[in-house]
Amino acid sequence: MSFVEYGDTIKDGDTAIVFLGHESMFPVKVQHGTVTQTKYGVIRHSTDLIGKKYGSKVTCSKGGWVFILHPTPELWTMNLPHRTQILYSTDISIITMMLELKPGSIVCESGTGSGSLSHALIRTVAPTGHLYTVEFHQQRAEKAQEEFREHGVEHLVTVTNQDVCKNGFGVSNVADAVFLDIPSPWEAIGHAKSALKAEGGRICSFSPCIEQVQRTCLAMEEYGFTEINTLEILLRVYNVRTISLQIPDLGKAAEDNSSTGFDSSNPSHQGSPCANLQQGTVQFKSGVPLREVVGHTGYLTFATKS
Amino acid sequence: AMEGGPGARIREGDCAVLKRDEVFKAVSVLRRRKIIFEKQWFYLDNAIGHTYGTTFEVTSGGNLQPKQEVEETTTETKEAGTDNRNIVDDGKSQKLTHDDIKALKDKGIKGQEIVQQLIENSTTFRDKTEFAQDKYIKKKKKKYEAVITIVKPSTRILSTMYYAREPGKINHLRYDTLAQMLTLGNIHAGNKMIVLETCAGLVLGAVMERMGGYGSIIQMYPGGGPVRAATSCFGFPKPFFDNLHEFPLSKVHSLLSGTFTTETLPADPEDNALLEEESNGLSEEKQTSLQETEEESVPEAVMEINQTEEQETMDINAEDVEFKETKEKENKENVREKQIKQWERRKKLIEAAALLREKNADGLIVASKFHPTPLLLSLLEFVAPSRPFVVYCQYKEPLLECYTKLRERGGVINLKLSETWLRNYQVLPDRSHPKLTMSGGGGYLLSGITVVLDKGRSDPSNSEALKVEEPSSKRCKLQDLHC
């Protein structure tokens, strides 16, 4: 397994994802002799995991079962240990497309943070591209490097522990794209420009506050970037539910026995209300929005180096 | 190294995208071909050789000229008002008439100069606020300083273009929704992907771009053949197409039930050998050829031509016997060519079928005008366990049903029904605010991950016994047809 290449069976040293059920999962480092505790019981790596196909069901000691999944950057994003606030797949998706990333791309990123975006970028530029990621916090830089190694992608990434605003990305005139998620991105625009290839390179800056965005856009303009465009993207998830609504009792008309106007002889079919006149309810399927949703992550500003 | 490299140059034959502000148009770069774009007529000849990203002006002759970097006339403290309380919009504030402006244009005066003239001849300009003046100048520049940038096609450019110009062709798939599909589907180099789309080939192109020519794609298609109009716009190098296969939807059921054959036509000696190898021997398919019957009727048609020609040439004198012979040879060659093409098509079909039969695809992408449920229920059979799948639908309701049916089927987890909400912003000092709202209208996605399909799941909602599915554990070589 690796984060950039699918494998079929679980091997010693893999990072696998244990899926327990709706929205409940966690990553696990597969190792001979190790056991993992779950609420359904114990998983013994040597007998339950190693050699099994990814996607298999594994029964735990107490009888309950879990699924073992092949890692992907998206699953990693949902399960990685947070050292900082991270970017989620919704933002990551639009960033990837708007920066025109693909196999072979050279990308620069700062800050590395918890490596959520980093893993996604590495996956996209593999096998011939490279990620240069800069992190000014020493422990975070080291942790990221360690994770990249464990996940079999260290040949695709270079982690540098420095301040991008002072010292840049460590490369010049090669990057197809630069990504900034730092407190003062306007201070790094100049460095971003010199890291980017001569023409056509793309830049993206992510900032939670509009004031940061304003300063960054000005800086981009000053440095001659074109096609400056700011957007935000939000995810709306729907739960699929079968809903029953009661039919109100409006009483009977004088002699007329017809009730609510719903034709009870109408064979019910998918998608249309199904009247249950005896119980006075109508059933239908609905995509119900969640009660609490993410209202804001950050503004994404894109531009092109001319 | 990246294909295209830094400073890729515009070449004849390329598919390029013309850009003016937020308007895009894809064109073929051909010499002496008149292009209409944004109310302007011009030839692309002069653009050839320049790098992508270059901005051009249209000269009076309809030729392109790279735009010179001009010094923005630094406005010394402009005279400006504070608000618009006294500005009356009576349509008479501009002193230049339509004809005056036309005269300027005909004289060949540059757009920049025209804008300057308009400002000087506007009675209300200096009463406007600075912001209003800015807005006015921007508006006039947009109209009179027609600059066109030629950009290299990419998923970003083409998906934006299609959504703005021809959303009907792509089932109103908004570009941010497409972006989600590519990421949720973990599309990357080395995958074996199954793609079913009726989006003019845009989704296929996007998948191909993210795979970089590595791995393989089997494009399922309805009807007679896959539509790849948008795909050709991406400008992929030829090797990208070596591992692009296609397979007709109309054969999916037969493939799943084990009754798939390609036997349709009178056999070639070579064909016979092929048929013996790959027929499952269970039952023979009806004569449903995947191509139109034109192929079958060719031999007869050619015969007819032969006969009429022979008739005609009989009347001509004997010196033309040679001519007659070459004509006959030509016709025989045509028939032979058609047969070869047919054989090759059949060969490709068998290859695609073999790839599908392995049931180990790394993912499934569906974006079509069809109801998604039957597609998912059958196409998921070809996907390995622990792999993502993403289905796009313009409408939410079919995905509600699809979700329900998938739950009943089992073998999928992490089902999620979602849409994305996208908003663009205007960011200017003291004038920052959202631009247009595009929420609603981007379409919906249903995504999930496959798992091993298990008999007797402990899920109470599942009453049916599900067959145990054993996907093949090895990826077979293409030559080995009995996977």
Which helix (H) or strand (E) covers residue A133, if one does?
strand A130-134
Task: Look at residue B100 in the predicted model and tell me its pLDDT.
Answer: 85
Answer whether residue A273 is part of any domain.
no
Subunit contact A55:B454, Cβ cutoff 8 A:
no
* A304 at B interface, C-beta within 8 A: yes
**CA-nearest residue of chain B to A304?**
B53
Q: Annotated binding residue at A115? A: yes
ipTM for the complex?
0.92
User: A152-201 pLDDT, tens per residue?
Assistant: 999 999 999 999 999 999 999 999 999 999 999 999 999 999 999 998 89
Same domain flag for A65 and A149: no
Q: Residue B439, Cβ neighbours under 10 Å: how many?
A: 13
Answer whether residue B324 is part of any domain.
no
Give the span between the Cα atoms of B12 and B378, in whole angstroms. 43
Domain count, chain B: 2
User: A209-247 pLDDT, tens per residue?
Assistant: 999 999 999 999 999 999 999 999 999 999 999 999 999
* A236 at B interface, C-beta within 8 A: yes
Give the span between the Cα atoms of B14 and B262, in whole angstroms. 37
Same domain flag for B255 and B392: yes
Subunit contact A97:B452, Cβ cutoff 8 A:
no
Residue B215 token pair: 């791995």
Same domain flag for A67 and A211: no
Task: Look at residue B77 in the predicted model and tell me its pLDDT.
Answer: 63
Same domain flag for A122 and A140: yes
Same domain flag for B257 and B397: yes
Same domain flag for B118 and B17: yes
Same domain flag for A90 and A134: yes
Subunit contact B417:A127, Cβ cutoff 8 A:
no
Among candidates A146, A193, A150, which has minimal Cα distance to A174? Answer: A193
User: B36-54 pLDDT, tens per residue?
Assistant: 998 888 999 999 999 999 9
Task: Look at residue B75 in the predicted model and tell me its pLDDT.
Answer: 54
Same domain flag for A146 and A42: no
Give the span between the Cα atoms of B341 and B344, in whole angstroms. 5
C-alpha triplet B336, B341, B346: angle, nearest 5°: 125
**Average pLDDT across chain B, whole number:** 81
User: A84-128 pLDDT, tens per residue?
Assistant: 999 999 999 999 999 999 999 999 999 999 999 999 999 999 999
User: B360-419 pLDDT, tens per residue?
Assistant: 999 999 999 999 999 999 999 999 999 999 999 999 999 999 999 999 999 999 999 999
CATH number of residue B426's parent domain? 3.40.50.150
Task: Look at residue B92 in the predicted model and tell me its pLDDT.
Answer: 85
Give the span between the Cα atoms of A69 and B424, in whole angstroms. 36
Q: Would the pLDDT of B72 be above 80? A: no
Residue B395 token pair: 């409408």
Distance from CA of A70 to the nearest CA of B (A): 6
Among candidates B181, B213, B220, which has minimal Cα distance to B197? Answer: B220
Task: Look at residue B468 in the predicted model and tell me its pLDDT.
Answer: 27
Q: Chain B, 314-353: which have a CB under 8 Å from a chain A CB? A: none
Same domain flag for A130 and A189: yes
**CA-nearest residue of chain A to B186?**
A72
Q: Chain A, 18-77: which have a CB under 8 Å from a chain B CB? A: 19, 53-57, 65, 67-70, 72-74
Residue B399 token pair: 């995905």
CATH number of residue A36's parent domain? 3.10.330.20
> What pTM was estimated for this model as a whole?
0.84
The region of weakest confidence among A91-100, A268-277, B100-109, B373-382 is A268-277
Residues of A in contact with B174 (CB under 8 A): none
Residue B28 token pair: 């073929």
Residue B260: band (very low, low, confident or very high) from pLDDT cuts 50, 70, 90:
confident
* A213 at B interface, C-beta within 8 A: yes
Which helix (H) or strand (E) covers residue A157, if one does?
strand A157-160
Residues of B in contact with A218 (CB under 8 A): 429
More confident residue, B301 or B173: B173
Percent of residues in chain B assigned helix, strand, coil, to nearest 5? 40, 20, 40
Answer whether residue A282 is part of any domain.
no
Task: Look at residue A278 in the predicted model and tell me its pLDDT.
Answer: 53
Task: Look at residue B317 in the predicted model and tell me its pLDDT.
Answer: 54
Q: Would the pLDDT of A272 be above 90? A: no
* B87 at A interface, C-beta within 8 A: no
* A297 at B interface, C-beta within 8 A: no
Answer whether residue A166 is part of any domain.
yes
User: A256-265 pLDDT, tens per residue?
Assistant: 555 555 554 4
Q: Annotated binding residue at A207? A: no
The answer to whether B359 and B384 are in contact (CB under 8 A) is yes
Answer whether residue B162 is part of any domain.
yes
Tally C-beta pairs within 8 A across A and B.
200
Same domain flag for A91 and A63: no
Answer whether residue B444 is part of any domain.
yes
Same domain flag for A27 and A136: no
Amino acid at B79: E
Task: Look at residue B289 in the predicted model and tell me its pLDDT.
Answer: 35
Domain count, chain A: 2
Q: Would the pLDDT of B456 be above 50? A: yes
Q: Chain B, 6-45: which have a CB under 8 Å from a chain A CB? A: 6-8
Same domain flag for B253 and B118: no
* B365 at A interface, C-beta within 8 A: no
Subunit contact A90:B211, Cβ cutoff 8 A:
no
Residue B477: band (very low, low, confident or very high) from pLDDT cuts 50, 70, 90:
very low
Q: What percent of chain B has pLDDT over 70?
A: 78
Q: Chain B, 384-443: which have a CB under 8 Å from a chain A CB? A: 384-388, 396-397, 399-401, 403-404, 413-427, 429, 432
CATH number of residue A94's parent domain? 3.40.50.150
Distances (CA, A) of A298 to A113, A228, B465: 15, 16, 47
Same domain flag for B134 and B170: no
Residue B35, strand partner residues: B42
Domain containing A224 equals: 75-234+295-305
Tell me which of B102, B137, B152 is where a domain ends.
Answer: B152
- DSSP state, residue A46: I
Amino acid at A272: S
Same domain flag for A60 and A86: no
**CA-nearest residue of chain B to A104?**
B2
Domain containing B114 equals: 8-69+90-152
Q: Dihedral sign for Cα B208, B186, A5, A125, please.
A: positive
Residues of B in contact with A53 (CB under 8 A): 385-386, 452, 473
Task: Look at residue B295 in the predicted model and tell me its pLDDT.
Answer: 37
Same domain flag for A48 and A153: no
Give the span between the Cα atoms of A118 and A101, in whole angstroms. 13
Subunit contact A229:B424, Cβ cutoff 8 A:
yes
Tell me which of A17, A52, A71 is where a domain ends.
Answer: A71
More confident residue, A1 or B81: B81
Same domain flag for B135 and B187: no
The answer to whether B198 and B173 are in contact (CB under 8 A) is no
* B184 at A interface, C-beta within 8 A: yes
Distance from CA of A3 to the nearest CA of B (A): 10
Subunit contact A98:B156, Cβ cutoff 8 A:
yes
Residues of A in contact with B385 (CB under 8 A): 53-56
**What long-range pairs does A168-172 form, CB within 8 A, spacing at least 24?**
A168/A134, A168/A194, A168/A195, A169/A108, A169/A110, A169/A132, A169/A134, A169/A195, A170/A132, A170/A134, A171/A106, A171/A108, A171/A132, A171/A195
Q: CA gyration radius for chain B?
A: 30
Subunit contact B418:A4, Cβ cutoff 8 A:
no
Residue A146 CA from chain centroid, whole number: 21
Same domain flag for A29 and A149: no
Q: Would the pLDDT of B473 be above 70? A: no
Residue written as token pair 């996956």: A123
Amino acid at B20: R
Mean predicted confidence (pLDDT) in B426-455: 88
User: B202-252 pLDDT, tens per residue?
Assistant: 999 999 999 999 999 999 999 999 999 999 999 999 999 999 999 999 999
User: A29-83 pLDDT, tens per residue?
Assistant: 999 999 999 999 999 999 999 999 999 999 998 889 999 999 999 999 999 999 9
Subunit contact A233:B421, Cβ cutoff 8 A:
yes
Same domain flag for A58 and A110: no
User: B128-152 pLDDT, tens per residue?
Assistant: 898 888 888 888 888 887 789 999 9
Task: Look at residue B466 in the predicted model and tell me its pLDDT.
Answer: 30
Distances (CA, A) of A26 to A20, A39, A49, A67, B453: 8, 12, 15, 11, 22
Answer whether residue B476 is part of any domain.
no
More confident residue, B471 or A263: A263
Task: Look at residue B109 in the predicted model and tell me its pLDDT.
Answer: 76
